[in-house]
Copies of this chain bind each other. A is one copy, B any other.
Amino acid sequence: MKVKNSHYRTIWPDPADNTIIKIIDQRLLPHRFVIEELKTVEDFCRAIRDMHVRGAGLIGATAGFAMYSASLFAPQANANSYFQEAAQKLLATRPTAKNLAWAVERQLSAICDEEHREKRIEKLFKSACEIADEDASYCQKIGEFGCELIAAISKRKGGEQVNILTHCNAGWLAFVDYGSATAPIYAAHHAGIKTHVYVDETRPWLQGARLTAWELKEEGVPHTLIADNTGGHLMQHGMVDMVIVGTDRTTFTGDVANKIGTYLKALAAKDNNIPFYVALPSSTFDWDIEDGVKQIPIEERSGNEVNYVTGLTSDNKIETVLVPPENTKSLNFSFDVTPARLITALITERGVVAPNRQEILRMYPEKSKSLYNILMK
């Protein structure tokens, strides 16, 4: 998508030297636009763990390139154990994100029979690029399907502005391009449908205020920033037509792990009869577990993310400030799980699907066999 009217993806190999992978350091947005170079597996792990990159699809794409990077450093002897170790390091960075495990496994299986170093490098590079391209093209499809939902509301409102609430950043910055939750919004905006977005600021990391607001601004989509507390009031007063969020892991039964606070918005949407959509490429599905609330591991991050806020001072410096009294103990869960009963539908690259086992498996029939095995265990 656009940054100062130039097109960017969130991750790309340096055209001059494709052993170098480039990313946007998202910690510094919206006040600084800094491109960072990643080389070693450690670079990639740090970038994921410390949230230089974040978001379901981008974590997956970054993990794909990380495994390619591992192949550049893998010793000829014991290459397999080197790859396994790299995989474990990557998996440990963000436990909730499904796409991370999915991309690492895809890369491992791409080289499972490959003995030649150069061939491995070539295969992993190709496959990493495919993961990134597929992510972008899946998001584009999500945009097309989701746009139809927005168009229908616009039509019902006689062409009046459609007000969409979103939480966190499931924008192009969270993927390789387009985004999941934002893809329908961008598609609708570009199709000339009057669209306006209420952006939850999304404490503690403020992905909404820092990233979603920036994306929408760069792309020219009208938007209004709100505190996470505000959405319920807006819904009570008819100011929200639909909610679209992303997800970091979705069970095949339709439970959705997404940024902490998503569950509260889903409750409010239900209470006010407002459609609540979750947009995701199928790489985000977890085909192994049935009960999201009980079974999805929820990452706990440092309480410092709650206690400190970073922003721009009046003299244009990036500064971090402490809000509560010093040494206040904080608890920082990154995600919560929204039960399927609160979700209107999922928007995937194959279409819009009801959040239940039957419909999801009907849409992804190739998964039914492996599921059958699991359920029979």
In the bound complex, residues from chain B placing their C-beta under 8 Å from that of A177 are none
The count of residues in chain A whose C-beta lies closer than 8 Å to any C-beta of chain B is 64
List CB contacts (< 8 Å) of A264-317 with chain B: 264-265, 267-268, 271, 293, 298, 303, 306-314
Stretch at the interface among A9-17, A110-118, A221-229, A362-370: A221-229
B-contact 0/1 string along A76-98, CB 8 Å cutoff = 00000000000000000000000
A20 to B360, CA, bound (A): 69
CB–CB A201/B264 < 8 A:
no
Q: Does B203 lie within 8 Å of A307, measured CB to CB?
A: no
What DSSP secondary structure best describes chain A's contact surface?
mixed
B306 touches A233 (CB 8 A): no
Q: Are A206 and B323 in contact (CB under 8 A)?
A: yes
**Cβ distance A4 to chain B, nearest Cβ, rounded Å:** 12
A residues at B contact (CB < 8 Å): 30-31, 198, 201-204, 206, 209-210, 213-214, 217, 223-234, 236, 259-261, 263-265, 267-268, 271, 293, 298, 303, 306-314, 319-326, 328-333, 335-337
30 contacts between A and B (CB under 8 A): A30-B324, A31-B325, A201-B203, A202-B229, A203-B203, A203-B229, A209-B306, A213-B325, A213-B328, A223-B328, A225-B303, A225-B306, A225-B329, A225-B330, A225-B331, A226-B330, A227-B261, A227-B332, A228-B229, A229-B336, A230-B261, A230-B331, A230-B332, A232-B263, A232-B264, A233-B335, A236-B293, A311-B322, A313-B319, A319-B321
